[in-house]
């Protein structure tokens, strides 16, 4: 699926719903939410349906391979990826997993996590991994594009960007709210948008883009000093308290524009160790690594069924 096709599909997005909140498990589980299903009605398209559930377009496409994103057949039953394994990092503040194009906000004192689709840096202007904090909350941010951004925009579109766009302007791509990150020279932001496309895609100049309703909600909840982790976990895996082994595989980020071949999947040592355990169904593991559906799947169901049958005899 090319950027151009995704861009056209996203032009049809309507206004977004707000947040997907989930209670945090109290038994040590990392699995939150539940998969939902949606039967396509004539005239609906995936960008519109994803917006209804506040999930990104690419995430919805991954979960439903082979479905035409702008002309899905009426009656098709779609899997909505509203279940996830929490990333394997400290569950506090904001956690952004680039591979998922998702932002996790662990709301203090509520025992809830809120999951949002995001846009991230495009190829050549990748959003870096980082451990940082919120350094400033900026309502009605003004936008001053750098010389590099202006030159890149001119080359790609033929349009000349102004040296500065005032806060609150309908032409301001930062939207109405921005959270400045302390990382580097402070040029990276989590911000809104004035556009009706780009959420759940790699389209920004390196910043993290959110739906207007989402950034407005989270802007009111975070404070200066809120921790922010930006990671790139393509494969998440967890041994659940009940013994289930769960894996969630996302498509690796490509390194070059137009790449049809994904980057090699990288495993953390912890994930590699889990996937080497004796009860893993190796055939299913291979299938999941190839399919990259972006939804949690159980890997050891056959082993547990065999154990139950053995005990029954």
Residues with a catalytic annotation lie at: 191, 207
CB proximity list for 8: less than 8 A, separation 6 or greater: 70
E strand map for the chain? 21-23, 31-33, 36-39, 77-80, 83-85, 93-97, 102-107, 112-117, 120-121, 130-139, 177-181, 189-191, 202-204, 208-209, 227-231, 235-239, 245-249, 297-298
CA-based nearest residue to 191, from 258, 122, 143, 225: 143
Look up residue 302 and give its two tokens. 């056959």
SS (H, E, C) 118-149: CEEECCCCCCCCEEEEEEEEEECCCECCCHHH
CB proximity list for 84: less than 8 A, separation 6 or greater: 31, 32, 33, 100, 102, 115, 248, 296
Measure the CA–CA gap between 139 and 209, rounded to whole angstroms.
15
């Amino acid at each position: 699926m090319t950027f151009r096709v995704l861009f056209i599909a996203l032009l049809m997005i309507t206004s977004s719903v707000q947040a997907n909140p989930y209670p945090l498990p109290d038994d040590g589980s990392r699995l939150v939410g539940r998969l939902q299903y949606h039967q396509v009605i004539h005239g609906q398209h995936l960008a519109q349906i994803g917006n209804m559930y506040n999930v990104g377009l690419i995430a919805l496409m991954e979960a439903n391979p082979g479905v035409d994103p702008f002309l899905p057949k009426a009656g098709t039953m779609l899997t909505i990826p509203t279940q996830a394994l929490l990333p394997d990092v400290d569950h506090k503040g904001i956690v952004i997993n680039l591979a998922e194009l998702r932002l996790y906000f662990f709301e203090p004192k509520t025992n809830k996590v809120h999951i949002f689709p995001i846009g991230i840096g495009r190829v050549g202007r990748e959003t870096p991994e980082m451990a940082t904090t919120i350094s400033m909350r900026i309502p009605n941010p003004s936008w001053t594009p750098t010389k590099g951004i202006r030159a890149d925009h001119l080359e790609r579109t033929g349009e000349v960007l102004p040296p500065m766009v005032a806060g609150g302007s309908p032409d301001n791509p930062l939207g109405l709210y921005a959270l400045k990150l302390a990382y580097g020279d402070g040029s990276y932001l989590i911000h809104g948008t004035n556009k009706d496309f780009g959420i759940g895609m790699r389209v920004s100049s390196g910043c993290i883009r959110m739906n207007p309703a989402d950034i407005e909600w989270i802007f009111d909840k975070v404070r200066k000093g809120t921790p922010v982790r930006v990671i790139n976990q393509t494969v998440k895996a967890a041994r659940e308290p009940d013994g289930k082994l769960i894996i969630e595989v996302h498509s690796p980020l490509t390194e070059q524009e137009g790449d049809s071949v994904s980057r090699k999947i990288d495993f953390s040592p912890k994930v590699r160790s889990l996937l080497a355990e004796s009860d893993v169904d190796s055939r299913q593991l291979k299938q999941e690594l190839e399919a990259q559906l972006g939804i949690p799947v159980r890997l050891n169901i056959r082993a547990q069924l065999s154990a139950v049958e053995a005990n029954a005899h």
